[in-house]
Amino acid sequence: MNKPLPTASLRHDETNEVDEKELVRMAKAGDHEAFRQLFERHNRRAYALALGVVRNPDDALDVVQEGFIKAHRYLPKFEGTSSFYTWLYRIVMNLAIDHLRKRKRAKQVDFNDALSHIEGEGLVGEDSLLPKILGADPSKSLMRREMREHIRLAMGQLSDNHRSVLMMRELEGLTYEEMADVMKCSKGTIMSRLFHARKNMQQHLLELMDGPTSGAEA
């Protein structure tokens, strides 16, 4: 398998992992301070994930708070086969998805999830991703408040399922298999959702930037 795209910059080094195991052990033994340190380490990352999915800062804070409370409650069941954060993000992700389900006003259907008709098509067409849209360094683009707002709005226009897979992939670098496990669907569905999430995101961004012609800004 080839090397995946670089993902979030929040990977832990080995030292941290060793420390973390100790913190988890202490927290399991009832040490609140140890659990507080785990919270300090991971709250921001958990928040970014929750915010990416629920899109509302207050709701994201609620999700993170509930996530840590739940993590503390079920800490004795955490066996340490994965990192604490891997375990935590699943709790947070499930809570975020639950939150979306509860909030959902009307059932959303991702009509464009089916990919069967894509087979055999080339690079151009309805089911193609768009070529590079900004023509510039994305980090520079993000310096512009307007661009950040466009991205925020474009993400808000994605369906809950599309946004969830996009966040899991881009923020956490999950494999399709892992995402399928979290979202309780097939790997094919994840692939389809991710493809359309990216395509829709590109289209929303282009629309917000006043059409495809303005996409080549510097």
Partner 1 sequence: MTANATKPTDVEIMMFLDGELDGDEATVVARFLEDNDEAASVAASIGQLSELVRGSVDLEADAAEDKLAGLWAGIDKAISSNGAISSGASKDAPAETPIISIQAKAEERATEKLVENAGWFGGWQSHVMIGALAAAAALLIMYIQRPTGPGQTTPGQTVAETSTQTPTQTVGNGGMQPTIVPVALRFQEPEVEALEVYGGSGVIMTVPADAESDEAATAVIWISSDTDVVEDPI
Distance CA 168, CA 173 (A): 6
**Residue numbers 94-113 binding partner 1 by CB under 8 A:** 94, 98
Residues 6+ apart with CB under 8 A from 163: 52, 53, 55, 155, 197
Contact (CB, 8 A) for 49 and 167: yes
Selected from 24, 34, 60, 183, the binder of partner 1 by CB under 8 A is: 60
Site string for partner 1, 120-149 (x = CB under 8 A): xxxxx--xxxxxxxx---xx-xx----xx-
Q: Does residue 183 bind partner 1 (CB under 8 A)?
A: no
Q: Report the nearest approach of partner 1 to the CB of residue 183 (Å).
A: 14
Nearer to partner 1 (CB atom), residue 19 or residue 130: 130
Interface stretch with partner 1, choices 14-22, 52-60, 103-111 (CB under 8 A)? 52-60
Nearer to partner 1 (CB atom), residue 20 or residue 209: 209
- Angle among Cα 170, 176, 181 to the nearest 5 degrees reads 110
Distance CA 193, CA 159 (A): 10
Choose among 36, 56, 42, 68: nearest CA to 152.
56
Nearer to partner 1 (CB atom), residue 15 or residue 40: 40
Contact (CB, 8 A) for 173 and 8: yes
Q: Report the nearest approach of partner 1 to the CB of residue 108 (Å).
A: 20
- Angle among Cα 163, 2, 139 to the nearest 5 degrees reads 50
Q: Does residue 217 bind partner 1 (CB under 8 A)?
A: no
Q: Does residue 208 bind partner 1 (CB under 8 A)?
A: no
Q: Report the nearest approach of partner 1 to the CB of residue 143 (Å).
A: 10
Q: Does residue 153 bind partner 1 (CB under 8 A)?
A: no
